[in-house]
A and B are shown apart, each in its own frame.
Chain A
Amino acid sequence: MSESVAAEHDYIGLSEFPTMETTPIMSDTTKTKTRDNNNNTNNNDDVLNFKATELRLGLPGSESPERVDQRFLSLKSSCPVSGAKRVFSDAINGSTKWVFSPGSATDVKDIKPAVPVKEKKSSTAAAPASKAQVVGWPPIRSFRKNTMASSQSQKQGGDNNNNSETEGEAKSGPEHCLYVKVSMEGAPYLRKIDLKTYKSYVELSSALEQMFSCFTIGQFGSHGGCGRDGLNESRLTDLLRGSEYVVTYEDKDSDWMLVGDVPWEMFICSCKKLRIMKSSEAIGLAPRVMEKCRSRN
């Protein structure tokens, strides 16, 4: 570990500092990584750094890339001021990315850099633009981040004002994330998830299951009616499994609906909040769901 770190640090002359023999545990894994990074950084800087520096919270051996020594991030940089600032302003604009969104271990979209890959390829000498988003950095409280983010969107988009000012937690829009609160009956805390990271009800369901795994959650509600094709199968399994909990959501009209009845795209546009409740409590929702479906159909 020490040798590879020292080698990487030649540019700031740290190799003269004697480093203690750190535990050899990381040496094998990081050595491999450093070799890879070494080769790649000499060639295709921007593209590689995007991938290699994408920070995840997964353990070695899991699908997510291994944790890379942070210093590789700024290896090539001479820290130009503007570049660093730009990264940070990206960070603010995509500020919701700072929130740790727990999903499945294999969900590779957990912590996404705000700058998409295309932008990175085009950025040249401003090496810090290739920096990944780091959870909890800079250290600013969520309340402040959310407040600033909604101020920003207020200034930028005068039209798209529906959610951005009122609910600091849930913001919509094509570029931004869509954070909604998830509460569960009996659980002592709320959680937040980003609906944009899921592509379907199935993904959402498994994420919720993991999140609240200490409680038993079945799939979405076991009421038939206006289901789409993809959902019927899971509905059947629900009925068979006899799930105890259902997932409901509050839509734009402030009605509480069962999750799963409308097409996914429509769902994420209208969902403001999620709540996992006992099936027995959710029975009252069914008639309204049917009504709404009928009026839509």
Chain B
Amino acid sequence: MDRRFPFKVLEHIFSFLDVNEDRNSVSMVCKSWFETERRTRKRVFVGNCYAVSPLKVARRFPKMRSLTLKGKPHFADYNLVPDGWGGYAWPWIEAMAARRPLLEEIRLKRMVVTDECLEKIAASFRDFKSLVLTSCEGFSTDGIAAVASTCRKLRDLELRECIVDDLGGDWLTYFPETSTSLASLDFSCLDSEVKLSDLERLLSRSPNLKSLKLNRSVTLDVLASLLRRAPQLVELGTGSFSDELDPEEISKLTKALSELKQLKSLSGLWDLLPEYIPVLYSVCPRLTSLNLSYATVQMPDLIDLLSRCSKLQKLWVMDLIEDKGLKTVALCCKELRELRVFPSGADLDETDVTLTEQGLVSVSEGCQKLESVLYFCVQFTNAALVSIAKNRPNFRCFRLCVMEPFAPDYRTQQPLDEGFKAIVERCKDLRRLSVSGLLTDKAFEYIGVHAKKLRMLSIAFAGDSDLMLHHLLSGCERLKKLEIRDCPFGDTALLENAAKLETMRSLWMSSCFVSFGACKQLSQKMPRLNVEVIDEHPPKTRPDSSPVERIYIYRTVAGPRQDTPEFVWTIHKNPEVGVSRLSIR
């Protein structure tokens, strides 16, 4: 009896697998499962564009319809990766255009995308539906125009916080008059004005448009007219919210907003003026997501808004919310799952913005479902962290940024070791953690011992010695991404735990004490890792003992990359270094 499942049966079973982690596991069972799985995978995710070659990916997944890629390391968001490092989308687009012309969706994060890439996408994929670019750069509005004009079935066009060479608002006119398929449009990161009439016409002929995120240049006086043409919106990102309106305009806007019966998510709200808050009252009760992080409105005006948002699940806000505001959130927003509090840099000579650790404690007490936090605060205490951990053991993502580097517990002057210990001990499901404040090696010992499910860890200005890194690399079993800056350890822990690095996606270390010699040694020892030394101004000769500015290590089956700029050193560029001990691929 043939014990194997017939291909068709397996295929059917695998079609229920959505999560790529499951698919990865399944594909490792045996050869036939690998083959079946690969033939059925539609959504492909590549977490590091240099970990695998585009050609291999194209060949492996013949039914690919959606490709998600990430390029630069996360710390590139904070300008720690010099321009020109890499992360080019072109090779991927070229490979897919040649081999997977049925591709429908491309999602890129932190990659360099040029107008040529966008034009290639437009020209190559006849069923192309969805382009989502997050934190990308290198293209202009001309490229956007190409996509808009040529992709007849375009459904989603989202530019999230990209750096775009904005040549003007003309790109919007390139959506053909016949196109009615648009479901999601996000141009919030563009600077220049689009013509109101073009936008109105586009909205009028897009009955499927569910998500619209305008840019700041769209003034408040035209918002009502736009909304009237898109009452079916589920997500709205407004433009500027600070222009002067007369009473009649205000009432029109209020009415237009109240007509958005399906609206669940609201963002934009640039420079929201307190007098316009009542305009939003009608949408508040239905909102599940509210992004006030560009709304410079302060307390107590924020309370009026937040107290009406009983269904809120996601709240992004600035520290202008203060402890008082967060108390209101704790009372009123019982469904809250995600909270992000950003620093406003409020002019502190004039106003006293009191956001302290107490704010987060309140929310952790009141919001039972809270599982994801990003909190910027000037200082913190161990006691607060312990309370938070006790209140909310269900955290999956806990990112605390104490903005003062090396700030101890301000009441006890102790390091924040005990506080973070409580977090990792109690929050057993913690996947992502960012630590800050004064931390010794002990904190990392705790993390290594307890944070068994941790995938991503970000560290800055912490620790005392190599022990810190050693604890992490030997303790955190599921660690995938580790990024460290300005910490005082170096070679020993790195070399001792070299094998661990092959189980991780990547390790980033900048302004630490890693020597060039150690980088060379690591490169020689671990041929399946790409070890990149990134020094903006490398000297002509580099002794082994000299410290490197940045090191980025990632596992790869694609071998050394060919597109490194001159300021990135890899051993492959310098084969005279230990070539005899280097294994040939």
Contacts and interface: CB of A to CB of B under 8 A. Distances in A.
Contacts of A142: 77, 79, 163
B335 interface: no
Given A23-B545, A24-B545, A59-B547, 8 more contacts: A2-B465, A23-B518, A57-B549, A134-B405, A143-B161, A144-B342, A151-B294, A192-B83
B547 A25 contact: yes
Contacts of A213: 566
Nearest to B353: A85
Contacts of A14: 440, 464
Interface string B74-97: 010111101110001010000000
B75, B545, B565: residue with the most chain A Cβ atoms closer than 10 Å: B545
B271, B379, B405: residue with the most chain A Cβ atoms closer than 10 Å: B405
Nearest to A167: B191
Interface stretch (A60-68, A198-206, A289-297): A60-68
Given A81-B379, A138-B401, A91 B88 contact: no
Contacts of A2: 465
B515 interface: yes
Query: Which 4 A/B pairs are nearest by Cβ-Cβ distance?
Result: A92-B345, A136-B78, A25-B545, A105-B537
B566 A188 contact: no
A23 B518 CA distance: 10
B554 interface: no
Interface string B102-113: 000000000010
A99 B79 contact: yes
A79 B464 contact: no
Interface in B351-409: 376, 378-379, 401, 403-408
A102 B78 contact: no
Contact of A139 (B78, B83, B271, B404): B78
Nearest to A110: B536
Contacts of A112: none
A270 interface: no
B464 A17 contact: yes
Q: How large is the interface on B (under 10, 10 to 19, 20 to 34, 35 or more residues)?
A: 35 or more
Contacts of B460: 137, 139
B294 A141 contact: no
A31 B579 CA distance: 35
A168 B270 CA distance: 13
A240 interface: no
A166 B217 contact: yes
B433 to A, nearest CB: 14
A86 to B, nearest CB: 7
Contacts of A189: 83-84, 112, 137-138
Contacts of A102: 82-83, 536
Contacts of B467: 19-20
Interface string A86-110: 1011011101001110100100000
A282 interface: no
Interface string B544-585: 011101000000000000000110000000000000000000
A143 B466 CA distance: 35
Interface in B474-524: 485-486, 488-492, 511, 513, 515, 517-518
A84 B75 contact: no
A287 B378 CA distance: 56
Given A12-B415, A79-B407, A151-B270, A140 B513 contact: no
B539 A138 contact: no
A140 B399 CA distance: 13
Given A5-B464, A60-B547, A140 B515 contact: no
A247 B83 CA distance: 19
Nearest to A136: B78
A181 B139 CA distance: 13
B410 A100 contact: no
B345 A98 contact: no
A95 B467 CA distance: 35
B293 interface: yes
Contacts of B547: 25-26, 59-60, 67
A84 B379 contact: yes
B161 A141 contact: yes
A140 B342 contact: yes
Interface in A156-198: 165-169, 181, 183, 188-192
